[in-house]
Amino acid sequence: MNTPLVSLVEAGKTYGQLDVLSSMTMSLNEGEVLGLFGHNGAGKTTMMKLILGVISPSKGRVTVMGMAPDSKEAWHCRSKVGYLPENVSFYEQLTGLEVLTYFVKLKGFSNKDCKRKAIDLLEQVGITYAMKRQVKTYSKGMRQRLGLAQAFIGEPKLLLLDEPTVGLDPIATRDFYKTVDQLKSNGSSVILCSHVLPGVEQHIDRAMILSSGKLLAMGTLSELRAQAALPVVIKPISFKKGGLNDAVAQDAKLKHFVSGSCQNTLMVPEQEKLAVLKQLLSLEELDDVHVESANLEQVYQHFLEKYERNFQQKIQGGQYS
């Protein structure tokens, strides 16, 4: 096991009385993609800033590539880190190419390579056609692509992307995830920070769910699903006259799983899924079956709701005691 690329040990950040991030412990290995989910103000951006070394932790320790990112020694590591901020509007009066060339130069590339490198990156994100235009004429999606090109400068070993797909059309989103997969297979680690996005699931190895500066859950998607113990939704479908209702409702094994709100739906715990499916398949009336595991969004909502319930209880408990 090699040392993790990024590790946080009980790291926290407070601004005055406000706990923006309370003791967070996590690590990120090489070639791993971590999804960071949470509401606005959950502490996602603060965590990214800690990892970037733009701010120093109030307590605990942050290590990136074996060094504290806010220290002087970590200086040369910065050219190996790419960052896409959440809201960035680049220098409006410059052209896209000029903006990117500036950033390539700042990353420490020699002057003569800069322009070519910038053009390559613009090609990668697909806005070469607009590179001679001023940024102020760019659409939201084009700006986002420019931001991504900026984050990809110098094949970073660590990428931190804050809401990377906001404003991207579906094709650009697909291209973006393709790039993420590519970077990952080259050994780069990525932290994707986001409200829950549809489509992000296949591309992340692990997810972290944050709320008001606290870690609610962390793990691979299947681990999180197991923790949340959300049922699998199974919809048996029959085109025959009379349908399935009675068959399912009368079946001794199946009738416990019928959803209270919808007669045609079975809510089945993950471990019972196969048994239920087998039983269903034995029914003659069955024509088709629709199986849906809990998706990331549901898992996310589950953890948030659980957290809020606990929080409410705590408040009420405090009032009565």
Partner 1 sequence: MKQMLTVANKEFYDGLRNRWLVSITLIFALLSVGLTYFGAAASGAVGVTSLSTTVASLASLAVFLIPLIALLLSYDSFVGEQESGTLLLLLTYPLSKSQLLLGKFIGQGGIIALATFLGFGASALLLYFQLGDTDIFSAFGLFIISAILLGLSFTAISYIISLSVSEKSKAAGFALITWFLFSLAFDLALLALLVGVEDGVTQQGLTQLMMLNPTDIFRLVNLSGLDSSDVNGALAVAINASLSQFQLFSALVAWVVLPLSIAIFIFKKKKL
The CA–CA distances, whole Å, from 223 to 43, 148, 208, 219, 299 equal 23, 30, 11, 6, 11
Backbone angles phi, psi at 32, to 5 degrees: -110, 145
Q: Provide the minimum distance between the beta carbon of 37 and partner 1 in the complex, in angstroms, as a whole number.
A: 21
Q: Provide the minimum distance between the beta carbon of 131 and partner 1 in the complex, in angstroms, as a whole number.
A: 17
Nearest to 127 by CA among 144, 113, 112, 114: 144
Selected binder of partner 1 within 7, 22, 144, 150 (CB under 8 A): 150
Q: Does 91 bind partner 1 (CB under 8 A)?
A: yes
**275-308: buried (b, 16+ CB within 10 Å) or exposed (e) per residue?**
ebbebbeeeebbeebeeeebebebbbebbbeebe
Distance CA 20, CA 245 (A): 51
What is the strand order of the sheet 6-15 is part of?
18-28, 6-15, 59-64
Selected binder of partner 1 within 29, 58, 79, 293 (CB under 8 A): 79
Nearest to 193 by CA among 85, 90, 296: 85
C-beta of 153 vs 209, nearer to partner 1: 153
Q: Does 222 bind partner 1 (CB under 8 A)?
A: no
Q: Does 106 bind partner 1 (CB under 8 A)?
A: yes
Distance CA 265, CA 258 (A): 6
Q: Does 140 bind partner 1 (CB under 8 A)?
A: no
Q: Does 120 bind partner 1 (CB under 8 A)?
A: no
Subset of 14-73 contacting partner 1 (CB under 8 A): 15, 49, 52-55
Q: Provide the minimum distance between the beta carbon of 106 and partner 1 in the complex, in angstroms, as a whole number.
A: 5
C-beta of 6 vs 248, nearer to partner 1: 6
Q: Does 311 bind partner 1 (CB under 8 A)?
A: no
C-beta of 85 vs 243, nearer to partner 1: 85
Q: Are 296 and 304 in contact (CB under 8 A)?
A: no
Q: What angle do CA 245, 247, 252 make, to 5 degrees?
A: 115
Q: Does 107 bind partner 1 (CB under 8 A)?
A: yes
Nearest to 52 by CA among 66, 37, 62: 62
Selected binder of partner 1 within 81, 131, 193, 208 (CB under 8 A): 81
Q: Provide the minimum distance between the beta carbon of 68 and partner 1 in the complex, in angstroms, as a whole number.
A: 15
What is the strand order of the sheet 189-194 is part of?
81-84, 158-162, 189-194, 33-37, 206-211, 214-219
Quick one: which segment of 99-107, 187-195, 221-229, 237-245 binds partner 1 (CB under 8 A)? 99-107
Q: Does 138 bind partner 1 (CB under 8 A)?
A: no
Quick one: which segment of 88-96, 180-188, 205-213, 296-304 binds partner 1 (CB under 8 A)? 88-96
Q: Does 75 bind partner 1 (CB under 8 A)?
A: yes
Distance CA 264, CA 26 (A): 42
Quick one: which segment of 4-12, 90-98, 282-290, 312-320 binds partner 1 (CB under 8 A)? 90-98
Kindly list the residues in this chain that would bind partner 1 in the complex (CB under 8 A): 15, 49, 52-55, 75-76, 78-79, 81, 83, 85-91, 93, 102-103, 105-108, 150
